Structure 1
Amino acid sequence: MPDPTDVEGLTVGQVSTRLGVTVRALHHWDEVGLARPSLRTAGGYRLYTAGDLERLHRIVIYRELGLGLDKIRSILDSTTAVPEALRAQRAQVADRIKRLRELSAGLDRMIDAHERGLLLTAEQQVAIIGPQWNPDWSVQARQRYGDTTQWQQFAEGSADRGPEEWQAIADAMLGFEGALGDAMDAGVQPGSAEANQLVEQHREVFASYFPLSRQMQVCLGRMFEGDPGYAAHYNGIRPGLATWFRRIIDASARVNGIDPETATWT
């Protein structure tokens, strides 16, 4: 608190220095009637008394507590409103702290998702995706694709997902792959309505990871057939399924005006 014995007739600049507030703020508080100086010089310059400084000190304290100027005015002009106003402000601060903690936790998850991909333990990954899954693959994917837009989209979706959501995604993909194998067994031809519907279903299911354009899907089809790991996965469902899957993707792309031979990851 200011010492009233040495404070009488302080200028705006002196008060600004003592309280650590700007001259502009002091002028504003004067203009809105929140803290007007009691004295003026012959030339009209503001001079603050000890009583003025005490009021200003309280304003600074309440402002640091997050109170608005109108609330500060009501507190300063009332003899009974201080405890109630401070309790209400304390409740608002507690709520803000809770939101900030939630935001901090969300940011931690987002950072982890960008760095790790799947926010699941190795045991959870194998249990959900299947025994053929290697938890190191997610780390390898981060190293290979971490700078791409698709990895960022995947990570931001992953940050909000727990085991139940990933289980639902895995079940949807498993159901699609079963339908894919059944369609090949049934002799469904590339370019047919049924084959094109399967291609659309693949894009919908895959969108759980990141949005998949038709051109990107063509690139995936090539990878499913040409990459030994992916080819082994699809051919393990049905012999020859990797190639058949690539063919129905290519045929659907042509229907939609895309030349599979020139398709790029866009």
Structure 2
Amino acid sequence: MGHSVGQVAGFAGVTVRTLHHYDEIGLLVPSGRTAAGHRRYTDADLDRLQQILFYRELGFPLDEVAVLLDDPDADPVGHLRRQHGLLTARIARLKEMAAAVERAMEARKMGVNLTPEEKFEVFGDFDPDVHHEEAERRWGGTAAWRESQRRAASYTKDDWKRLTREMDRIHRAVAERMAAGDPADAPAVRDLVEEHRRFISRTSYPCDHTMHTRLGEMYVADERFTATYEAIRPGLARYLRDAIAANAAAADAGGADGSAARTGQDDGS
């Protein structure tokens, strides 16, 4: 007897009204009806619905979806290849957006004193002011917030572009050490996260090892930070968190390897 319209709506996460509309426009006509006239959907109907929802998720209008699914010359393998290409392009775009979010949030790029055109040139589609209210709610009462705002207001477009390149370089270097198989507490990795800490101190607000450790935990706890680092390399958020913790522990232990002796350099300058 197939599946009822209510069952299909539950399977697919759509409303019954949506299925009725698809039927009315001929996009998804159920293969059967009960004696009372109720819609009944077969497994083939569900396969078609899955295709419809895929293209809708990618932003295709319904009339274009109908053309894609009903083209008599369509090759199933080619159809799947097209889906794969669309998903790959979307993943790449999402990674670009995640990287823009990271650049803005990492350096507390809130309330940046740039024109809309300059913001677009530096940050792309991401507007750092969007997260200003949330950041102020979380950190607005702290000296770090006030200092980051003071510094951000003084930066020019070229300053932001230079700082963005520097932070990206540090992140890529950490990801390369991870790819090479270095443990998070390796001296070379700790040197990089120490550079990361001093970068924040130099550009945004004084960032001691305690503050840096809290940031490392946030990279794992806050899904926006996690997504950004995962886009650079899977597992990088936890790896960076662990490296930051190892660097802080080495500094607390007295810096037997010499790393602690460097921790005062550039802080707050």
Q: TM-score normalised to the size of structure 1?
A: 0.50
Bigger relative contact order (CA 8 A; separation at least 6): 2
Q: TM-score normalised to the size of structure 2?
A: 0.49
- Structure number with greater Rg is 1
